[in-house]
Amino acid sequence: MSPRSCPAGLEAFVALRRDLHRHPELAFREHRTAGVVADTLRGLGYAVEEGIAGTGVVGTLARPGGSRSVALRADMDALPIAEESGVPHASGTPGLMHACGHDGHTAMLLAAAAVLAREGDFAGTLHLVFQPAEEVGEDSGAERMVREGLFDRFPADAVFAMHNHPGLPVGHFMCRPGAFMSASDKVRIKVQGRGGHAARPHLCVDASLAASAIVMSLQSVVSRNVDPAQTAVVSVGRLVAGDAYNVVPDTALLELSVRSFDASVRGLLRRRIEQTVQAQAQSYGATAEIDYVMGYPVLENDPAQTAFAADVAREVAGAGAVDDQATPIMGSEDFSYMLQARPGCLIRIGNGVQSPALHNPRYEFDDSNIAIGAAFWRRLVERFLSA
Tens digit of each residue's pLDDT (9 = 90 or more) over 269-289:
999 999 999 999 999 999 999
Q: Is 207 in contact with 191 (CB distance < 8 Å)?
A: yes
Mean pLDDT, range 128-153, rounded to an integer: 97
For residue 124, pLDDT beyond 90: yes
Torsion of CA 144, 146, 150, 152, to 10 degrees: -140
Rg of the chain over CA atoms, in angstroms? 23
Residues 6 or more apart whose CB falls under 8 angstroms from that of 324 comprise 174, 175, 176, 177, 306, 307, 310
**Confidence class of residue 3 from pLDDT cuts 50, 70 and 90?**
very low
The alpha helices in 201-262, defined as continuous H runs, are 207-223
- Cα(134)–Cα(28) distance, rounded to whole angstroms? 9
Residue 248, classed as helix, strand or coil, is strand
pLDDT at residue 170, rounded to an integer:
97
The reported pTM is 0.92
Per-chain mean pLDDT for the chain = 96
By annotation, the residues acting in catalysis are: 77, 134
Find, among 65, 66, 49, the residue nearest to 57 by Cα.
Answer: 49
Mean pLDDT, range 323-329, rounded to an integer: 97
Tens digit of each residue's pLDDT (9 = 90 or more) over 216-257:
999 999 999 999 999 999 999 999 999 999 999 999 999 999
Find, among 332, 336, 334, 339, the residue nearest to 359 by Cα.
Answer: 332
Instruction: List phi, psi (to 5°) of 365.
Output: -65, 135
- Cα(160)–Cα(344) distance, rounded to whole angstroms? 5
Find, among 380, 375, 385, 382, the residue nearest to 7 by Cα.
Answer: 375
Find, among 70, 77, 72, the residue nearest to 54 by Cα.
Answer: 77
Residue 307, classed as helix, strand or coil, is helix
What residue segments make up the domains of the chain, in order of their start?
10-181+298-384, 183-296
* CATH number, span 183-296: 3.30.70.360
CA triple 94-79-240, angle to 5 deg: 90
Find, among 108, 107, 1, 114, the residue nearest to 61 by Cα.
Answer: 114
pLDDT at residue 9, rounded to an integer:
66
Q: What residue type is assigned to position 127 of the chain?
A: H
Superfamily the domain 10-181+298-384 falls into: Zn peptidases (3.40.630.10)
Instruction: List phi, psi (to 5°) of 231.
Output: -120, 130
- Cα(254)–Cα(315) distance, rounded to whole angstroms? 48
Q: What residue type is assigned to position 22 of the chain?
A: R
pLDDT at residue 252, rounded to an integer:
98
CA triple 15-21-27, angle to 5 deg: 135
Rounded alpha-carbon distances, angstroms, from residue 244 to 70, 227, 289, 337:
58, 42, 23, 44
Mean pLDDT, range 185-193, rounded to an integer: 98
The alpha helices in the chain, defined as continuous H runs, are 10-22, 31-43, 102-119, 141-147, 150-153, 207-223, 263-283, 303-317, 335-341, 368-384
Tens digit of each residue's pLDDT (9 = 90 or more) over 234-244:
999 999 999 99
| Neighbour count for residue 387 (Cβ, 10 Å) | 11
- Cα(172)–Cα(178) distance, rounded to whole angstroms? 20
- Cα(169)–Cα(311) distance, rounded to whole angstroms? 18
Rounded alpha-carbon distances, angstroms, from residue 188 to 184, 253, 256:
14, 7, 7
Residue 124, classed as helix, strand or coil, is strand
